Structure 1
Amino acid sequence: MEEVKVEPPPQPVMKFISVTSDALTEEQREMYESVLTTWKPVMFPKRIKRYICNKCNKEFKNYQNLYLHTTRVHSSEESAVICDICDKTFKNKHYLYMHRMNKHYSELEKCYCQFCLQEFRTRRALHMHVKRIHPNTLPEIKCNECGKEFSVPYKLKYHIEACHRTDKEKYKCHLCHKLYKNSLNLNRHLHFQHTPVQRHPCVFCNMTFKSRHHMKRHVLNIHPPLESKVTCPECLKEFKNDQYLKEHMQVHSSLDSKVKCDICDKFFHSAIRLKKHKKIVHPSKPKMRCEKCNKEFAHAHYLRRHNNAVHLEMDETEYPHSCDQCGKKFKLKKYLNNHLQRHEQQHLKRISQMVKTVMGEEKDVPVKKRGRPRKARAEIEFIKCEPVSSSDSESGETESDSE
């Protein structure tokens, strides 16, 4: 006999629980506080980092001031440095640098500004002076291919490598042969896709993520705390967090702030929605065709979803999503959600009927019928005909003759 594996029932998704609730563990409460500190800084401000000296307990504004304090005041013989020119000893490297600049600085290393002839001891100081005092005299940093201007040379270098590079195979992954615009994206791809990195588990479910940021974003969207709820000031609709509210507020925007598709002249509330529209309706890549019904899709994700929804042959008893109320099973979760909405509508309808019967409103309020209203027919009065005897008929005839 084969053992039948019984899968544990899916646990309900935890969401809209207050940070102060006793149902949360200490780890979950810390995660909620971290999420709200990142995306709700007004209600949960970030903790200010304090820079305190361990030896004299003096507090400083930043790490640089703390470092200078420790090297000047609490420096030891181990941190002492020696000048290689005059063999003089100093507390730290900062004092040695100032000594070299003042005592052992040669005339050959001096720099002069070509516009005002001011003297500087380093090339960096000269560059900062020209940038601040003579900004209009700096040469233009412009791309020769497209004419785009940049403030610093390294940005122009990145622009040329990303947009106008002829060697497309330069930044190619040697494992999966994917192409990338620059070395930064390639290194990020190698780190996340082909390197065994530490996964960050969610404290509310069994999912794991590549980075802590993605895990916190998952908590905010799937397991949102009660404090993250926001309300639209225009229509009073509630949303999980500020991100959904920001997307919703574009619905209330005017026509002037909308963006237009240059291909089909459709208007959209934001550039993100326009980008999604172009990606699906006007894709730059060739469309992918379904082998069974020849329907075209812009991306493999939509084709896969179409195959799972339409062409996946599965017995109805094996459908993964089932309704808790009536036991009906569905192939996709989307169909189950639509079915649950019908249950909710029926429940609300029953409640409204019960309220009407209790309040006695059923007699007063007429039930509205569908279709065109019919004209009221006039009631016809029927007169009952009584039988007439022969003597009455004869007397009626004599009266008529006499007349």
Structure 2
Amino acid sequence: MEVIKEEPDVKFECDVIITENEDIQDTVNLSAEVEKFECLECGKVFDHKSSLTRHKIVNHSGVKEYECKVCGKLFGIKYDLTKHSQIHTGVKKFQCDECGKMFGQKSNLTQHQVVHSGVKKYQCDECGKMYSQKSSLSKHQVLHSGVKNFRCDECGKLFSHKINLNQHQLIHSGVKNFECEECGKLFGSRSNLNEHLLIHSGVKFTCSECGKQFDYRSGLTKHQLIHAGVKFECGECGKLFRSRSNLNEHSLIHLGVKFSCDECGKQFNFKSNLTRHLLIHAGIKKFKCDECGKLFRTKQDLTRHVATH
């Protein structure tokens, strides 16, 4: 087999011998020189030049000019973008026989089915965690890099992947399409709904250090940072915080971001403060004193009041 480097000229050598009064299948001798196309970057071999060209664009050129308008993912060729866009249409016609999960593309179903096989051959060099898919490992490794290039304009929270930012922004949009069948509470994402469902199941997450229990694993994880003594330092002023989310919120001060009240024009450094302030204009008092029944707009006001009893 001859392997062609990059720019091959396809050649065929053909010897045909036909003898009179002889069956064609016995008289035709066809020999063709089969050529392959090798990528000079990684050595991968292809049967067709078009396949090699596509491979080089996707894997080695670094050029990704086709962006998905929904999630921001970039692609080297338009065909891959078109195929990817089907995910966002909501049409899912490929079903997993094991768990019933639906997929928009057959290739995604095939990748998913590896999960049920139990085979996990991709290992993280940092923590040893195993994955059944290389793509899952790649996403996981971004967490160890600490790189978070996607910032929420509303609250300043940072994300490693744009798709996670897009999901997070649903919180600020007010759109809540996922409803809990137990209590009717609405959520902006399915992951938040799934986490909420643990409350109804009675599952609790207990701190091994102090025994404190939490409804959510994320709550336990944040709490454990206290025992570990982990602090997140602001690069601008050196102030320390117990959680990255608190640091991100604090960082908005240095960026000069302000949240303004549409009613009176008062400005706040944090959106949470603006939200509490808006309760004044709305006349909402949802915090009730158990002693005397008096209502308050904020929990802080209630706490100060309770001290007087």
Provide TM-score, normalisation by structure 1: 0.33
Q: Considering Cα pairs closer than 8 Å and 6+ residues apart, tell me whether 1 or 2 has the greater RCO.
A: 1
The answer to which structure has the higher strand fraction is: 2
Report which of the two structures shows the higher radius of gyration computed on alpha carbons: 1
